[in-house]
Chains A and B, each alone.
Chain A
């Protein structure tokens, strides 16, 4: 089954404790991205990647890091989480040739930073 998976689905942590949210897709998509969703703000892009070893900032990259060492994986790293990073996070992927921009989303990771 074609899908985007994220882990963990729920995470409660404390300020300053480094964490990683994993994202994996099995569709051989070149493009992967991370979003955060906050009430009344829709989805805002954090980082995106056009392919292996190619990443770029989205609209709200501060406080986040990403890496793309393999095509299928795109982990999101919070080196020193803060309470303002409490949010619902989505990973997504898509092709960049043929039928671009149609993104497939993971189920989301709800992060709480206390």
Chain B
């Protein structure tokens, strides 16, 4: 069984300050982990993904995430927030066991960026 918990429903930062969006997961097997971003009235876009190649994953728009197996976490970070980062962010886990292709989405974190 797999699950994912996004620890904050809303995160508010000032432009130019660091961003931290937290995600914890549970998985019985080697998970694939993803972060997606959804801008208002848009579909979801892949930010980055972890598939066991490297624990620190770099994505688009300056975002990165670190896979920490001991903490079962996959937090998303960015050194300096931009106004255009304001969006909804989803952490997603998918077990790679037995050909399971049913991903589990977190409930989302709304990132608010103040000028």
A: which residues have CB within 8 A of B?
4, 31, 35, 40-45, 48, 50, 58-59, 90, 92, 96, 99-108
Contact = CB atoms under 8 A, between A and B. Distances in A.
Given A101-B34, A101-B101, A102-B34, A42 B107 contact: yes
Contacts of A4: 43
A101 B94 contact: yes
Contacts of A96: 99, 101
B103 A45 contact: yes
A105 B49 contact: no
A42 B66 CA distance: 22
A97 B82 CA distance: 36
A101 B46 contact: no
Interface string B97-112: 0010111011110000
* Chain B interface mostly: loop
A43 B102 contact: no
B44 A105 contact: yes
Interface of B: 9, 32, 34, 36, 41-46, 49, 51, 90, 94, 96, 99, 101-103, 105-108
A91 to B, nearest CB: 9
9 contacts: A41-B107, A42-B108, A43-B90, A92-B44, A100-B32, A101-B103, A103-B44, A105-B44, A106-B43
Nearest to A108: B43
A50 B100 CA distance: 10
Contacts of B102: 45, 48, 58-59
A96 B94 CA distance: 12
A55 B90 CA distance: 25
A33 B107 CA distance: 18
A50 B49 CA distance: 21
Contacts of B51: 99, 101
Nearest to A57: B102
